[in-house]
Structure 1
Amino acid sequence: MNRREFLQCAAILVSGASASQLGVALTQEQQVYLAAAPNYNQGATRLLNDAQRKTIAAMCEIVIPRTDTPGAIDAGVPRFIELMATDWLNDEERTIFLAGLAELEASVAADYGSSFDELDAAQQLALMEDLEAKASESSWYDFANTRRDFVSDAPFICQLKELTIWGFFTSEKGGTQVLRYNAMPMYFDGDVPLSPDQSSWLTRLE
């Protein structure tokens, strides 16, 4: 099972949606994996401590804040990120993730005498924009690089953003309350015009 197939399985396990609801055609290997997988919505994941969880929650809420639609926290994205960092990132990627998180925590403590989640939204955003500026040379930012495999050496901020987007738009809240959702069987239409105020349709994970 490749990494994208594992991510599809993780979306199913975390969101509680079925494969058909997410538009996924499962391979036999995925079906076997899902049949034996533990319930992701029960049991403890202990990769992060409580302070780190608060930082991750605050960061992903900056990426997708609650407005008139649900935000990242509403959709359970912080738990999704911890599960992905535990089970999906390889050792190298997990090391980058944990080191980047620790570096951010240390920097905030030194500069503000506080933790990231205790800062106001403007301060949080400024710190995340600074992380992005420092990471700008990564291939993760290559123009039109939107259908790529996960970039293994991507900096922490890139990992955080990518997992936030995946977690949110494969969640029930993101898929049905933010994207336009139609529970009827899916079909392909390559030319569906959207006005500037319309969101995209919930589509297949490829």
Structure 2
Amino acid sequence: MAGSQASDAVPPAGAAPAAGVDRRQIIGGAVVLSALVGLPLYAWQQARDGMDGGASESEKLLIARLSDLVIPATDTPGAVAVGVPTFVELALLHGLDETAPPVSGPVRMANYRGGFPVLEQVARDLDRKVSGSFLHIMADRQHDVLADYDAEAFGGERQDHPWKKIKALILTGYYTSEVGASRELQYELVPGRWEPDLPLPPNNRSWSSDWTAVDFG
């Protein structure tokens, strides 16, 4: 985003938008199933070590904005605050979650872009929906457009919708971060005895230490 128009449209990174909890429920969705063991932890380590990816500045801005819209700050830090955009950028570069086809041959070419074509398609779709630049419209309209795009992706029969992959990476990055795993979800290092049938309290949260209960869809 550039110029005063962009600064007016997008709130500061990590800022809590109005009705943040509702927005998480609309776009973030429920946390239910994913094969997350190993690769996300590796990607987080690489991100902490400062390994840079191949995103352009506009792609970085789009990843950050989408991350904030999916998981805004509420009573816990949002996706931007915990570094999810960096995770998503690195994950795309390495083709995490099948965002990129396998590389043929032993060496990657210099122009290898990993899963970034998936992000490019999402950007084109969102720009087409607003007949302009998604990044330059007002924040409330961005939310509504993305909510509509999300419903289209998960409500239709198309299994390879590009938004499914980008959203999965955003949610994977957040719920494998320290904040997402221990403050947004419940975590118990040493579980207690096995209980086959327990009543669920209102607003029950999933356990980040139980991978079978995690699905990002």
TM-score normalised according to structure 1 size:
0.65
**Is the counterpart of residue 138 in structure 1 residue 148 in structure 2?**
no
Does the residue aligned with 2:141 lie in a helix, a strand or coil?
helix
Identity score, percent: 26
Which residue in 2 is equivalent to 1:183?
189
> Structure 2: which 5+ residue stretches go unaligned?
1-33, 103-113, 213-217
**Greater Cα offset, 187-196 or 125-134:** 187-196
- Report the Cα offset of residue 186 of structure 1: 7.1
Which residue in 2 is equivalent to 1:172?
178
Which residue in 1 is equivalent to 2:169?
163
- Report the Cα offset of residue 75 of structure 1: 2.2
Distance 1:192 1:173, change over 3 A: farther
- Report the Cα offset of residue 197 of structure 1: 2.6
Amino acid paired to 1:55 = L
Which residue in 2 is equivalent to 1:79?
86
> Structure 1: which 5+ residue stretches go unaligned?
17-38, 141-153
Which residue in 2 is equivalent to 1:103?
124
- Report the Cα offset of residue 157 of structure 1: 1.6
CA offsets per residue over residues 74-116 of structure 1, 9 Å max, x none?
22211121122111232289265133134146437853xx552
Does the residue aligned with 2:37 lie in a helix, a strand or coil?
helix
Structure 1 distance, partners of 2:54, 2:157, is 26
Contact 1:105-1:115 at 8 Å conserved across structures: yes
The one of 42, 65, 76 aligned to 1:13 = 42
- Report the Cα offset of residue 73 of structure 1: 1.1
Contact 1:13-1:41 at 8 Å conserved across structures: no
**Is the counterpart of residue 127 in structure 1 residue 148 in structure 2?**
no
**Is the counterpart of residue 90 in structure 1 residue 100 in structure 2?**
yes
* 4+ residue segments displaced more than 6 Å: none
Distance 1:44 1:202, change over 3 A: closer
Contact 2:126-2:146 at 8 Å conserved across structures: no
Distance 1:160 1:95, change over 3 A: closer
TM-score normalised according to structure 2 size:
0.62
- Report the Cα offset of residue 160 of structure 1: 1.9
RMSD: 3.0
Contact 1:56-1:78 at 8 Å conserved across structures: yes
